[in-house]
Every structure is written in C-alpha cells, then in structure tokens.
Amino acid sequence: MNVPPGSALFLLLSVFLFKVLAAPVVKISQGFLKGTILQSRKGRNVSAFIGIPYGQPPSGKLRFRSPLPAKSWNGIRFANKEANVCSQNYYGTYIGAEDCLYLNVFTPILEFGYPKDNGTLKNNLLPVMVYVHGGGFSQESSNLTAYSPKYLIDRDIIFVSMNYRLGVLGFLSSGDTVAPGNFGLKDQKLALEWVKKNIRAFGGDSNRVTVFGNSAGAACVNLLALSDATDGLFQQYIIQSGSMMSNWGFRENTQFKPFITDIAKKVGCPRINSKILIKCLKSKNVRKIMDAVLDTTEEYSEMPWLPTNEMESNDAILTDSPLNLLAKNKMKDLPFLTGNTIDEGLIFTFEYYGNFPSTPMVEYLEEYINFTSNFYMKPDLTKYRNLVQNFYFTRPITSMNENELLKNFTKFGGDTTFLYPQMILLDKMVKTVKSPIYFYSFGYRGNTTLMTMDFNVTENIGVGHAEELLYLFPKGFEGTFPKQDESIVNLMVDLWTSFAINGKPTSDEMDDPNLWIPYNKNGHFLQIGNIKNNTDGSVTLDRDYLSDRMNFWRENFPMP
C-alpha cells in the first residue's frame, strides 16, 4: 500500500508504529511487562504501564482477608489497558469486579526497548509519587479518565496509582480476627510494598516515595502514616481535604454489627457466630452482597464501611483509634504537606443551590447537627446545639432566610468535617514532629468547577471539596486553559512535584519561588487564590488560619 507522506493516514500509521516499536519493556519480580506510550500535557513522551497486578484476586476464600501478592507469569505480559475497577455501587449501579488489585506506573525514562539496569541509572533514579484515590471508601478507581498523570509527568517524577477494595469488601469488620477489617488499607500497603520491590525497574528511587491522596484517599494516607506496619514504605506524604480525625474517617469495630446483621439477613447467612457468618458471606455471589449493601443505610450517614481498629495480629494495620494513637505520638516524623479548599462544606449544601434537594434544608441541618454531636459532644446534644447555633447561626435556624442559612451551613459543615479535624492533627504534630509541615488553603475558582457542574449550578457559590484536583489531574478535560487557570495548573504541579523531588514546595509561578515556608514556623500557610475574591488567582503567605472559627472549636471541643 502506497501511503503518501504528510497524509492523515500516514500520520496515523506513524503514530501507531511509534507506539508499537517504542513500547517499553521492563523486567520486574513477576516477569516481563510491555507498556505503551503516553503523552504529557506539554507533549513529553512517557512510558506507561497500565493494569499491573500487585495482588491476587481477593474473591472466594480470599474475600475478607489480607491481600496476597500477585503471582508471576511466563513470557511478556502486556500492560497497556486499564484493569477492572473494584466492585462498587456507583450512584446506585453495580460496576467493577473483585479481581481488581492492579496499579499503573508512568515514567518519563523512555527508550526503544527499556534499558537494562547496568548501573547507569544508579545516580539518576527519580522520586516516586503514589496516589490513593478518594470516593468515600466506597467508590472510584485509578481510572485514567479521573486521574491521568498528564500534568504531573511533565516533571521528573514517576507516578503510580492503584485500585484497592472498597465498601463492604474493603472495610467490613466482624470485630475479631475472623474478618478484622481494613482490607482496603492493607491493599494499599501491599501496593507500596510492590513499589518498594519493583520501582527501580522503571527508573524510580524506592527510598524517595511520596504517597498522597484526596478526601477518603487522604484519610487513608493519614492512617498509613500512623501505622507501624508501613514503616519504610514511604518518606513523605500529602493529605488533601481529608483526615483520619474526621467524623467520617474511622469507626470502632464494635459498631459494625447492625450493618453486618442486616446484610446477613438479606443474603441468607446464619448469624450464629462470626466464623460461620463470614464463611457464608465468602460463598455468596458478589453482586448479591453489593445489592444488599445498597439497601443498607446508616441513619444520617451513607458511609457505614470505614477504617477501624483491629485486634493485635501479625498483619494488623491499625490496632487502636486514630485519636488514641495520635495522643501516643504514633504519627511518623516525616515531611508532609496538607490542606483544604476554602468551602469544603459545599459538599453538604451544593444540591440546595441546584434546587433539587432530597430533604428539606432545615430538616437536613437538624440531622447533621445531631450527627456531628455524636463525635464532638456526645451525649449532651442540647449544649452542643446551643453552642453551634449561637456561633454559626446567631438565631434559630427556622427564622433565617435560605441564602443566609446556606452560607452558614456551608461554613459549619466544612469546619466540623474537614477544617477542624485538620487543625486537631496540625496542633498535635507541631508539638511532636521535627520534620517540616506545609499547610495550604485552596480558594481559587477557575472556569471549570468539579462538584457543582453536575447540578447545573452556574453561579459562583465557592470553591468546594476536591476542586484543587482540577489543577493536578485533567479529570477528563482536554481543552486549552485560560491564562490564569493555566498559571494555577503550573503552580499546583510545581508545588506538589517539587515537594516530592526536594522535600520543599517551590514554584516560579510565584514572585518568590520559595514563598511557602513550613506551618511549624509560627503558623504560616499558603493561600492559593484570594479569599475575598476567588476568581483572583493570587498567592500569598498568611498566618492565623480562620482563627475565629478554629478557636471556637479548640475552646469548646478540645481534643487530647
């Protein structure tokens, strides 16, 4: 076939042949892998290894057990397409499979046929960034549509993302050693062990690993940094809009019983003892279990399956509550970077801006006050309600107009669930660790929003939960950014990757590239976006983070 140079067909064939011939091959502990080629945002060719098994399928007898390392294979395994997402009820629809313990590796070291490690990489190994996705411990995956590394891999880092078990399959606990829980956390630990063992084959430095995550992924990272079981698996960490101290980040193992009982009834399992019950659940079709979960809800909460405390055992990852472990100074003394968006509470109120709420707002707020009182001031609900009402709402909530109520509910919801839990952690750590702590507040609203776009909210209502992710991951966006949005993308990528590379977040997008100094130097934090005008992308170094609101919680609801 004669294909003229310069034609569209010629260009397509050229790209195809390049990807086939240049597709890298690496040898890891399990065997040979053949990857593919991915282009970064700025056109950099990157070796991509997608869908690498790190754990055996946790189904059948391996369900509700700690994960086992993936087995080896003969010949060359292709790692060029996405693997199964983990079983989940995704907005009411079952998707995924139990065979889901896969990870992805992206490395900018690219040659025709990956070079053997003959010593030339010794002094050029790259730092590694390992991402743990969020999703309320029950949804999402490392799918490239959501978490493509196209922005991050313009810098000299290696990016790793993983799937881990979710929901009932990842976090069910029988309260004993039969099914101790935290299986999703143990999957993450196994993935980090895989990185430790294999990342050099991709040009990565196993002694320069930064693990990071957002929301539930951040809480997971926080717990990994608390556990002795993960010592030596990473050297730095980043937690974004999530904390193990949040009221949604942990559940005592004694509190799972009603959920397990309900599921057992629905799937027809006897509840004689935990051994018989868990054996029966292992025999059931996963879809039947997930359908039962969909019908099982907790009053005022849609997150019954959470990290928990385990009984002491060889593979336990968390043996006490985060609060107790924090009080015992168990957090690793490692450099870490953390922060929140300025309007985290929109996660509770944005549907009211969209004008199709499922529950009347006053009723929902009453429920939320009751729910948070269990965490901050159980059992004195009356005192808690009065303190909250006097500080956030100034008068009875039934007498407030809707806009005023929404604004104050957003602040209250964000403070109770994200901002003050973050302060509990920071207040403790500035007293106990020597490593630098970098704290940020993200308050920039660009031309695309993450959370409100699905609810047809066009007005500027704030910068909600996870919106900083738009400037670290494409999230399906492939267009051209406006100039200021482009600057924020460059800023965020600079800060996150420079922290991974050098242990200090810097960026030439700021007038002073070294503007950001540690929080444990007199409470300084980086304000990204103007807090008084969120369409202004200015960056400042500030102090006294929301001091009036945070001091209200410190004074009335101190944590040990």
Catalytic residues, by residue number, are: 215
Torsion sign over Cα 393, 396, 402, 406: positive
How do strand 36-39 and strand 539-542 relate by DSSP bridges?
unpaired
How far is it, in rounded angstroms, from Cα 99 to Cα 86? 7
Give yes or no for a contact between 345 and 447, defined as CB atoms under 8 angstroms apart. no
How far is it, in rounded angstroms, from Cα 547 to Cα 290? 43
Give yes or no for a contact between 55 and 99, defined as CB atoms under 8 angstroms apart. no
SS3 496: helix
Give yes or no for a contact between 232 and 289, defined as CB atoms under 8 angstroms apart. no
- C-alpha angle with apex 329: 214 to 332, nearest 5 degrees? 50
Number of neighbours of residue 479 by Cβ within 10 angstroms = 8
Find all residues with CB under 8 Å of 127, minimum gap 6, and list them: 156, 157, 158, 204, 205, 208, 209, 210, 500, 501
Cα–Cα nearest to 445, from 470, 480, 414, 477: 470
How far is it, in rounded angstroms, from Cα 525 to Cα 505? 12
SS3 276: helix
How far is it, in rounded angstroms, from Cα 530 to Cα 528? 7
SS3 277: helix
Tokens for 416, please give them: 């109770």
What is the rounded end-to-end Cα distance, in angstroms, of the chain?
Answer: 76
- C-alpha angle with apex 492: 232 to 432, nearest 5 degrees? 40
User: Can you point out the beta strands (E) in 324-459?
Assistant: 336-341, 437-442
SS3 of the chain: helix, strand, coil, percent, to 5: 40, 15, 45
How far is it, in rounded angstroms, from Cα 411 to Cα 392? 8
How far is it, in rounded angstroms, from Cα 328 to Cα 382? 32
Q: SS3 for 542-560, per residue?
A: ECCCCHHHHHHHHHHCCCC
